[in-house]
Structure formats: structure tokens, C-alpha cells
Structure 1
Amino acid sequence: EFTARGHALLRAIREAAVPVIAVLDGLSLGGGSELALACDAIVATGRGSLGFPETGIGIYPGLGGTQNLPRRVGTGLARYLIYTGAVLGAEQAAELGLVDRLVALEELDEAIAEIARAGKPAGERRPTEPTGRWAEIARAFDVPADAILAGEVTSDDPEIARAYERVRTRKAPLALRKADALIGRALELPYDEGLRAELAGLEEIFRSHDALVGLRSVLDRSRPSFEGR
């Protein structure tokens, strides 16, 4: 019921007659980051951050994250962020197109007013094309979760190789596979249909052994051991 209400909020944001603007001025993880992604624009100060740690506790982003991330940054970087749970600072997020405006704290109110005056954006958002290092990461992670889990993809790049290893050893296989499937269809399906698919899988994932282990690990501050079931 909680996530169903969350999805209703996402639709309300999308259908609002005026622009809905998220402000990031501190740590944002999981649902908070997903809520920001659902907004028409994200304005951040240097203290802002975004991250999607769910696959590390046995679940996947269930408040629009699997649908809104690909629409902002493409499938490769969406997979990277959800597979690894990497936390991005505001400057990194702006480089990727996750943050629309990066401003000093004293400029925040004016930036919000300027975006509001411009009105609701027309049409669908198109993913920002990654460049430089981000393009390399996008290519490395635009692969099925199973290929990483099975060790079928490797890299001579130390940073990417370490990221693959973290995914294999620290993330929940079932959650990775579910997220992978949802991300893969995000740009093919109408937005509402993608949200329904995301919501439809949540009961199964929350009832899984990995989710129980992962969520329990948050309470007792232990490192979970996932079994892919």
C-alpha cells in the first residue's frame, strides 16, 4: 500500500499543471532520490547527493527509480547506479544530467524562481548522452546483471573491475535481475506501464529470502549474505 501511494504521488507530479522542483541540499538516498527524479527539475547545492542503495539490501528501487533513471541518463548509467549503489555528489550528478541546476546556496531561491517562471516542460525528457569517463562506465554496465554475476564480463580498467566485483559479492542477485529487466524495458514502455511493472514486482521481491536478510542487516548493522532466492 505504501508503494502504491508513492506511485500515485509520482503520477500527480507528472500531471501537475505547474513545474514541480526538487531541491537537494544534503544526503539523499533511496526513496528520497527517487522522489527527486520524478520532479520536473532538480536543483542542487554543492552539499546535495543522490544514491540508490536498494540492491545492497535485497530489494530494488520501487518508487519510480527503475523508470526515471533511464529516462534521465540512459540504460547503461541507470544500471551502474542501481547495480552498484554508488552515491553521487551534486557535481557528479550534474555532469550526468541527473541534476538540472547546480548552484550556490545563496543562489538557490533565484534558480527555483527562474525554473518556475519557465513553466512545465513540454514533451518527454530525453536521456542525456554521457561523455568522457561516464561514457566508459555506461558502456561497461549496459550489460545484463547475470553476465556480471557469472563473471562473464571483465575489464582492464581497475575502477570498473572493482565495481563488477562489488556487484558480484555484495549485491542481491534476485534484486539485480529484477532491476535489470525493468531498466531494460523503461525506454520501450509508456511511463505509466513501466511504473505498473515496477510496482507489480515489489511484493515478490519483499517476500524473498534476500530481502529478509538484507532488511534485517540494516537493523543489526551486519553485512548480508545473499543466496539469490
Structure 2
Amino acid sequence: MYTTIRYEVKDGVGIATINRPEALNALNSTVIEDLSALVNEIENDKALRGLIITGEGRSFVAGADIAEQCPLDLAGGRTWGRRGSALFRKIELLEIPTIAAVNGFALGGGCELAMACDIILASEKAKFGQPEVSLGITPGFSGTQRLARRIGAARAKELIFSGKMIKADEAKEVGLVNAVHAPEALLDAAMEMAQSFAKNAPIAVKYSKACIDRGLQMDLDSGIAMENELFAMCFGTEDQKEGMTAFLEKRPAQFKNK
């Protein structure tokens, strides 16, 4: 169905592998189209409980395709940037938890794709960076915004102004990456984490994600008010009744996403 992406669902978790290894999985128009179509599919899959995004071969995504960007003029650059940013925002706004399993290079658009996910897990071989200034451009798929929000403005400026790459251990140290794993253990670790999310009440997980993401854009009092409302809404679900009843009866809960 997709030209540049392999997609499968395993135990309620989607696994999307960007499959353009001959170009280090660089983002060209076809990859962006495939990812957009996949996100639309995922949005409509009410049985899905999580999504893992990874790359084929030795790269996660080694940036956007330079050959496609090189001839762009001002209008073309604006369209290209808006297209990528809109896609990554759609990924960020998915109601289910998303995990980037970064197996290799995550540079430019690849780092930006990883940051659009809720969690970033890295292989020991992974490398991260926003090298766009060495090409005469700024990060274009929201990198200046998400990197600063993840690791703080000063560190983000250092990485973006220098264009340097950092290894997985440094990425973890600065707070970009949640955990670092041996290459052969990365996908299993991502699946284990996704399953730890998926076993819980889907509506409660969805509301918790919304509370965190939306709350970070609000003042504290507004964020607390939103959390109180979503907390209350949980009590109108079957899953709340099942979860608390199962706890009292000392048995595993059987959630139905209702």
C-alpha cells in the first residue's frame, strides 16, 4: 500500500518502518505522502493502542532530501516547510502514545520526526542533530520549536547554531532521549514500552496525553482546570468502573475503550 513505508500491527501496536535505505531514509515527497496517508489510517483505527516509528538499515531518517530541496525558491521553500510541519504536527496530535525507535542517523527532518513523537528511544549507534545551517537554511519542520521545548533554549541554540551531531548517550544526558539500548534490543524495548501503555485504560491514557501536551501551552491554573475536567470525564466511562471494580476484586482489568 505504501511505497516507502512498511507498516504492521502487532498486539494492538502499529510499527511503521521508513524503508528508503538507499537514501538513508531521507524525507522526499513520496515519504511525506506515505506518512500522511499512514497517519490518516492510524487516526481511523480505533483498536490501535500505540505507534512505533523506526527506520530501515543504519538510519532512522538522515534529514530531508537535499536534491529535492536544492532548486526551491522562496515560495517553494515555504510550501515545503509547511508541508512537513503539518505532517509532524498531525503525528504529535495523535491520541495514542507514539514512540520513535531511533536506530541510526536522526538528522534535520529525522530529528524533527523523532521529536514529534511522545517518547524517543535510541540505539547506541544513533546520532542526532539539526545541521541545516551548514546548508544555508534553518530547521524547517518545526525543529527550532520542539528542540527548545525538549532540552531548553540554550542547549537547542548550541546544537542548531553549530549544526553538530551528538551521540545517543549525550542525547539522553540533555533530555532529548528517554533511554539508550543495544541496537539488537531497540525494537523489543520500544514494543515493551508500548505494551506497558496499551494495557491501561485507553481513554485515560488519551486524556493524560492531552493534559500534558495542552497544559504545557497554558498557565498553571488553566492547566489544572483542564485536568480536573478530563479527570471528571473519566467517571463517565465504562473503563473507570471496570478499572476500579477490578482493583477491588483483585483481578486484572478488561478495558474496552468505552
Question: Partner residue of 1:106?
Answer: 184
Number of residue pairs matched by the alignment: 130
Of structures 1 and 2, the larger Rg is shown by 2
Equivalent residue for 1:68, pick from 121, 146, 155:
146
Question: Partner residue of 1:13?
Answer: 91
Q: Give the TM-score taking structure 1 as reference length.
A: 0.51
1:117 aligns with 2:206: no
Aligned residues of 1:42 and 1:100 also touching (Cα < 8 A)? yes
Q: Give the TM-score taking structure 2 as reference length.
A: 0.46
- SS where residue 7 of structure 1 aligns? helix
- Which residues of structure 1 form unaligned runs of 5+? 127-186, 191-229
Letter aligned with residue 24 of structure 1: V
Higher relative contact order (CA 8 A, sep 6+): 1
- Which residues of structure 2 form unaligned runs of 5+? 1-78, 198-204, 220-258
Question: Partner residue of 1:33?
Answer: 111
- Aligned partners of 1:73 and 1:65: how far apart in 2? 12
- Aligned partners of 1:16 and 1:6: how far apart in 2? 16
Aligned residues of 1:72 and 1:125 also touching (Cα < 8 A)? no
- SS where residue 213 of structure 2 aligns? coil
- Aligned partners of 1:56 and 1:78: how far apart in 2? 16
- Give the 5 Å matches for 1:120-139: 122=209, 123-124=212-213
For residue 22 of structure 1, report the CA deviation from its aligned partner: 1.2
Change (3 A) 1:13 1:118: farther
Change (3 A) 1:48 1:117: same
Structure with the bigger percentage of helix: 1
57-66 or 104-113, which moves further after superposition? 104-113
- Aligned partners of 2:193 and 2:214: how far apart in 1? 16
Runs of 4 or more above 2 Å deviation: 117-122, 187-190
1:54 aligns with 2:132: yes
Equivalent residue for 1:44, pick from 98, 122, 130:
122
Superposed CA offset, 1:69-91 (max 9, x none):
11110000010010111100011
- Aligned partners of 1:125 and 1:103: how far apart in 2? 30
- SS where residue 21 of structure 1 aligns? strand
When the two chains are superposed, the root-mean-square deviation of aligned CA atoms in Å is: 2.5
Change (3 A) 1:15 1:118: farther
Question: Partner residue of 1:93?
Answer: 171
Aligned residues of 1:38 and 1:64 also touching (Cα < 8 A)? no
Structure with the bigger percentage of strand: 2
Question: Partner residue of 1:78?
Answer: 156
Change (3 A) 1:57 1:109: closer
- Aligned partners of 2:150 and 2:137: how far apart in 1? 22
Change (3 A) 1:78 1:125: farther
Question: Partner residue of 2:251?
Answer: none
